[in-house]
A and B are shown apart, each in its own frame.
Chain A
């Protein structure tokens, strides 16, 4: 199961992953044009717990409750990755209501968005991982089941 994992010991709380995420998913070539002066809608979020910080993004759960709950069939799981078909999403937010990690947000345009591991962007590797200055973020690709299996 692929997902971006964080080693909270190394997370500096710099929020660069949020900017890299927003840029990677903007479809634009110039980071400044893509982000400067705009509200960004990253699919990864750095939480600040005082003495520790760490980034939270989709866990691509085994029995993903967001997929089970989607009223439009827009969320599905393909090759281990939970993906959103925005053309089917009607923005009902049932997925926001059920995601145990708070990893799905509205996209500011009437649909929802979530981490899709940069598979549909040009990045290849998740941009948050590629750009993490302290290598706190890595792309995990093993069989450890971390997810909310009690779906």
Chain B
């Protein structure tokens, strides 16, 4: 009995749940306490825009069924952690309660970053767009006539725009960057996405920023004035690193972990949007995307429970779509460019030192051409070249870049993956 380990997972999202699953894959008996900062257990945050669009609902957004926590012996505490006491090995909650730990996983995610903007506090109806509560608050503030201004043309801001645009009078999106989705697309690729959103009545003010707010007006730096009823702030996010920083752990833009998800503090692991780690090419980054949260969380859990797991295939990758036009991207955009494009679609590859470094594939379900509607088909074959660091001279690179196929991988790969190959 006394040998049972006590695991404390700080956070209630994808990384936290995956960590619990990782622990249970090794240790069926240890105590797991999951400290969930939101009033509901794990749900899929990227679905909040689909909720507003009417394409999902709260029940369907749950990441795991309600029975999951009991079935896996996970004690869910709805609270936040205020500190970790490494002397007594206890996690201190905001309520003052203390939970003893043997191993901790910090899966605290990120929080919206709101830069100082003059007059912002005078705006009555202003919202973030991260959580279900944000989405519900926004939903209660909008009606079919209201004018919405969204500050930030990144993934969060644009999905918000798509989600509400049929439910409000007008949507204007502004961003300091000269293009939409500036973190994952370049100018010409971004234009394809911007055009699609513009077709649906969304207005853009790019390369422009709010100089000053009045209660219902944004005075832009360019001199333009935007009247609005509801303001959504989607400028960016910052990793929640303070719990680890406060106990002397290394942090950069995120909590620094190695490829076993260990922080620099013994018995303290971290996973999800709050971490900074080496990508598949060894470049340290914050890769705040759901797949990495799931994979890193699982890896942390296995290691916390005494197993051995390595997560060394993290890569930036995003799939995002608007009104049937999808952008699938991965890796980094360096090296020689190979490109093919047409009306509403684009396929662009970045090749460096004999490896595929990154790609952007944009296609449209409603494109007139077959190639346009299939531009992103089987994109995962490209992603696997990046994640598994496969040299291009071992595959039929020319054929692959024209059309992704298992055929163009090595015969050995093809046979071991596709066939039982017993004869």
Interface positions of A (Cβ within 8 A of B):
5-8, 47-49, 52, 54-56, 59, 65, 68-69, 71-73, 87-88, 90-102, 104-106, 138, 140, 142, 144, 146-148, 150-151
Residue of B at shortest CB range from A98? B380
Most-contacted residue by chain B among A98, A140, A147 (CB, 10 A): A98
Q: Which of B357-386 contact A (CB under 8 A)?
A: 365, 376-381, 383-384
A100 and B381 within 8 A (CB): yes
A87 and B328 within 8 A (CB): no
A73 and B416 within 8 A (CB): no
Which one of B317, B377, B417, B419 lies within 8 Å of A98 (CB-CB)? B317
A selection of 9 A-B contacts at a CB cut-off of 8 Å is A52-B407, A71-B290, A72-B50, A88-B56, A92-B46, A93-B326, A101-B406, A102-B378, A105-B377
- What chain B residues lie within 8 Å of A6 (beta carbons)? 418-419
Q: Does B150 contact A (CB under 8 A)?
A: no
- Chain A contact residues, majority secondary structure: loop
B291 and A96 within 8 A (CB): no
The docked-state distance in angstroms from the alpha carbon of A65 to that of B388 is 13
A102 and B330 within 8 A (CB): no
Question: What 5 new A-B contacts, CB under 8 Å, besides A73-B62, A102-B380, A148-B384?
Answer: A6-B419, A47-B406, A72-B44, A72-B50, A92-B319
Q: Does B423 contact A (CB under 8 A)?
A: yes
Chain B residues with a Cβ closer than 8 Å to the other chain, count: 50
Residue of B at shortest CB range from A7? B419
Which one of A90, A102, A148 lies within 8 Å of B50 (CB-CB)? A90
The docked-state distance in angstroms from the alpha carbon of A98 to that of B316 is 11
- What chain A residues lie within 8 Å of B379 (beta carbons)? 93, 96-97, 102
A93 and B376 within 8 A (CB): yes
Q: Does B179 contact A (CB under 8 A)?
A: no
A25 to chain B, nearest CB (A): 18
A48-B407, A69-B290 known; A146-B417 Cβ under 8 A: yes
The docked-state distance in angstroms from the alpha carbon of A51 to that of B56 is 46
A94 and B290 within 8 A (CB): yes
The contact string, 1 if C-beta is below 8 Å from chain A, for chain B 310-335, is 00010001111100001010100000
